[in-house]
Structure 1
Amino acid sequence: MADAGGTRPFSGFEWMLAGRYLRTRRREGFVSVIAGFSFIGIMLGVATLIIVLSVMNGFRNELLSKIVGMNGHVFIAPIDRPLTDFAEVARTVEALPGVVRAVPTVEGQAFASSSVQGGGVLVRGVRPQDLAGLDQIAGNIVGGSLETFAEGEGVAVGARLASSLGLLPGDTITLISPRGATTPFGTAPRIKAYPIAAIYEIGMTEFDSAFVYMPLEEAQAYFNRAGDVTVVEVFLDDAEAVGAARAAIEGAVERPIFLSDWTQRNSSFFSALQVERNVMFIILTLIVLVAALNIVSGLIMLVKDKSADIAILRTMGATRGSVMRVFLITGASIGIVGTIAGLALGVVFTLNIQAIQDVIARITNQTLWDPTVRFLSEIPAEIDWAEVGAVLAMAMALSLLATLYPSWRAARLDPVEALRYG
């Protein structure tokens, strides 16, 4: 509905006036500079929010897929008696809906050495068919073959571990365990050499540098396990469905067991990531807020500079609502266009973040992302469009709110006083 005696709301006349106020003129050059900085601030704030949130999402999803993908989602440990019936337990659990596989595992620490050097490792004993079913391992073999692993006593090691020890497929790695054979003089350490059957590289330093996979039966003999396993790791098709899976496993396994899941084992780690993500969102939102406040200051200066024009418009019949909408369109246009530009910049940067990092690294001749001090070998980034929509809505809302007070001031301007003192 049109204002009484005035133009229809958001008519072409109001858009035309707003457009004229947005154009640069020599006399209003300083106002245009403030508007330009407001536009740049909102664009950079929105782009930075999208980039940072995408990288945080990429970190969480990449770490979740690799940590959980290597370690399983639910862990079955024995109570009262050793887990000698692990094969039956694994078959029972694998028959449950939502379960991909159940992997009986023997775990133990050892010292790995070669003719070059040595270091501590975590030895995992698994059945060859289970190791072949782990996509994180089987899909990332960079040397040797898992067929060799299944044929004999060979082991599979990470690429960083093999590199640090100077080993290649077919070379020998020596494992030393403090828990060896019991003698009249005490427990003697067990020392045994194994050929390298396969070398894998999943791109996560923790696993590539410290894990040694060994056939299950050999691991049982090496760690003095009398036909039992340490734990049965259960892999689900949905990592978030651990609650329902735990209830189903407890009802299906007919023996005393203790259950834990990945959310318990990694709760502090993923909670820290979530807290950091929330704090970064709040801090970066302040960039958009500061840019929105620049819109306020710019519009107030524009209203003061255009007070005589406003008075003339009022005397010619323009209503207060029409004047208010003119300045509302002027300020909101800066915020909305800046938000759209920030969206484009953020999405383009996120989609090409690895290429941009490589270019900067070549220009500066520095390593910007050292995988030896981080979990991952490259920067992960994953755009969550729901979050992007929330960022856009927030930026546009702040931009619109920033225009209300200056627009109201313009609408309340007294034409007589403005012409007298303008």
Structure 2
Amino acid sequence: MTSTEAARRKKGSGPFSWFEWLLAGRYLRARRRDAFVSVIAILTMAGITIGVAALIVVMSVMNGFREELITRTLGLNGHFTGFPVEQAFSDYNEVRDNLESVEGVVSAVAFVEGQALVTSQYGSSGVNIRGMSIDDIEKLPLLHSSVMYGGWEDWDDLEGVAVGSRLAANLGLGIGDAITLVTPNGPQTPFGSTPQIRSYPVNAIFDVGMVEFDSLFLYMPIRAAQDYFRLYQDQLREGFGELDLMATDEEIDEAYERVYTATAVEVFLSNPDGTFAMQRSLEDAAGRPMVFTDWQTRNQTLFSALQVERVVMFTILSMIILVAAFNIISSLIMLVKDKASDIAVLRTMGATRSSIMRVFCITGTAIGFIGTVLGFVFGVLIAVNAEAIRSWVSSVLGVALFPPEVFFLSELPSRVDPLEVIVVLAVSLVLSFLATLYPAWRAAQYDPVEALRYE
């Protein structure tokens, strides 16, 4: 070993010498004489731990909430909704096929939509009715796979309905039970329009995990919905019932498509954020005048509020770390005053001002580093198990935390974003380091003669 290497090892690797690390470590350890200063340091460390953990948990829950909300909303509603302009929308199947041929489009579905009052022997509720064929329902995996009871068998051939689990619970419905749908837009009479009242059996009960859909949406076959909402062209429908009894299924379907209309089509893209670039392509491919609205425009208020809330929560919770950083300043100032004589002795033994400054920088930064690491561990553990912890606390307290009626989702979602975690850790470490500079600078300015005068 050369003399240079020996001197480097004695001094310590990096910009800090071994005695600076040793001295900083001794200042961090509790002693009976320094118990009060050590308690302040522990409380400061706890504050940083709480701040970092709270930031990670809150940001993860908000990420999960936004992701689940987008996934479930776009799982049933398309990235684009196209509405016909002027003429009756009887060529909806052709338009749907044209839109599916556009590059970047995963699928397109046609549907009938309207509102009605649904009643059962146990109550009534307003619902949003959607009429869709089984082929289009299969393009919505979230809906198709969420059936709890019943199923989609012979969906197009049966005049049954599918209801959400919460709606079924509110109305006391089970598979096979009959419901009555009432809408004011019924047949015209000399005295005006009469209500449209029809009964349908419940064929399926679904649960997509989103309160809005599980309590307000009702699905029925598209042809039954077209008849119920009278979405047909009267002048063509008069001859529709006079088809030859020997007509083939293809001839019947062709005649049906000429007579009956749909409300709109929904388009699902491979890239949900690419709506701006796709709108012109969809308008050109539709083959008829249509107005397309994207999901970001439809939900602009909600997702803008979520984005603002994320920024505000990050700022507010960062204040916890900032307060803890100020505690580092106060605890180090107290430590500097308590160790004034030690600093003076070190200066008389040849320690430089920069060396003294590094000792207290290491001490304060170590407090912040340990608090940050503990906060990272606790924060990630809580964020990963957020739903399990919520369920346990709810069962212990007997109180519904994060009720789905308020937060839209039946479970508390959480998604840890590694980039955001890195940002939180970086903010904590930087604030902890900056908080050490002033006390360390004050320690380095001590005059050994003045410090030892009254010793």
TM class, shorter-chain normalised? over 0.9
Map of 1:240-251 to 2, 5 A cutoff?
Answer: 240-251=273-284
Q: Aligned partners of 1:385, 1:402: CA distance in 2, in Å? A: 26
Deviation at 1:373, TM superposition (A): 3.5
Q: Deviations over 1:139-184 (max 9, x none)?
A: 1110001114233111111011111111111111111111111111
State the match for 1:74 in structure 2.
80
Q: 2:407 is aligned with what amino acid?
A: R
Q: Aligned partners of 1:30, 1:247: CA distance in 2, in Å? A: 69
Q: Deviations over 1:111-165 (max 9, x none)?
A: 0001111111000111111112211111111000111423311111101111111
State the match for 1:213 in structure 2.
219
Q: Aligned partners of 2:156, 2:454: CA distance in 1, in Å? A: 93
1:176 maps onto 2:182 in alignment = yes
1:320 maps onto 2:353 in alignment = yes
Q: Aligned partners of 1:366, 1:148: CA distance in 2, in Å? A: 43
Deviation at 1:6, TM superposition (A): 12
Q: Is the 1:132–1:146 Cα contact (8 Å) retained in structure 2?
A: no
* Total equivalences in the alignment: 420
Q: 336-345 or 68-77: which moved more?
A: 68-77
1:13 maps onto 2:19 in alignment = yes
Of residues 382, 393, 397, the one that matches 1:364 is 397
Q: Aligned partners of 1:141, 1:150: CA distance in 2, in Å? A: 17
Map of 1:189-338 to 2, 5 A cutoff?
Answer: 189-226=195-232, 227-338=260-371
Tell me, which stretches of 5 or more residues in structure 1 are unaligned?
none
Q: Aligned partners of 2:202, 2:229: CA distance in 1, in Å? A: 19
Deviation at 1:300, TM superposition (A): 0.5
1:51 maps onto 2:84 in alignment = no
Could you tell me the TM-score, scaled by structure 1's length? 0.96
Q: Is the 1:148–1:154 Cα contact (8 Å) retained in structure 2?
A: no
* Large movers: runs of 4+ above 6 Å: 5-8
State the match for 1:393 in structure 2.
426
Q: Deviations over 1:312-359 (max 9, x none)?
A: 111111111111111000000000111011000000011111221222
State the match for 1:378 in structure 2.
411
Q: Aligned partners of 2:82, 2:200: CA distance in 1, in Å? A: 29
Q: Deviations over 1:195-222 (max 9, x none)?
A: 1111100111110011011111111111
Q: 1:91 to 1:182 in 2, by over 3 A?
A: same
State the match for 2:244 in structure 1.
none
Q: Secondary structure at the match of 1:397?
A: helix
Q: Deviations over 1:219-243 (max 9, x none)?
A: 1111111222111111112211111
Q: Aligned partners of 2:128, 2:391: CA distance in 1, in Å? A: 33
State the match for 2:45 in structure 1.
39
1:354 maps onto 2:387 in alignment = yes
State the match for 1:24 in structure 2.
30
Q: Secondary structure at the match of 1:382?
A: coil
Q: 2:365 is aligned with what amino acid?
A: A
Q: Aligned partners of 2:14, 2:230: CA distance in 1, in Å? A: 88
Q: Aligned partners of 1:8, 1:54: CA distance in 2, in Å? A: 36
The share of aligned pairs that are identical, in percent, is 52
> Over aligned residue pairs, what C-alpha RMSD do you find?
1.7
Q: Secondary structure at the match of 1:381?
A: coil
State the match for 1:153 in structure 2.
159
Map of 1:131-146 to 2, 5 A cutoff?
Answer: 131-146=137-152
Q: Aligned partners of 2:164, 2:64: CA distance in 1, in Å? A: 23
Deviation at 1:17, TM superposition (A): 0.4
Q: 1:310 to 1:7 in 2, by over 3 A?
A: farther
State the match for 2:102 in structure 1.
96
Q: Deviations over 1:87-123 (max 9, x none)?
A: 1110011111221211111110000001111111000
Q: 2:325 is aligned with what amino acid?
A: A
Could you tell me the TM-score, scaled by structure 2's length? 0.90
1:85 maps onto 2:91 in alignment = yes
Q: Deviations over 1:265-293 (max 9, x none)?
A: 11001111111111111111000000000
Q: 1:59 is aligned with what amino acid?
A: F
Q: Aligned partners of 1:163, 1:228: CA distance in 2, in Å? A: 33
Deviation at 1:361, TM superposition (A): 2.0
Q: Is the 2:78–2:267 Cα contact (8 Å) retained in structure 1?
A: yes
Q: 1:312 to 1:96 in 2, by over 3 A?
A: same
Deviation at 1:8, TM superposition (A): 7.3
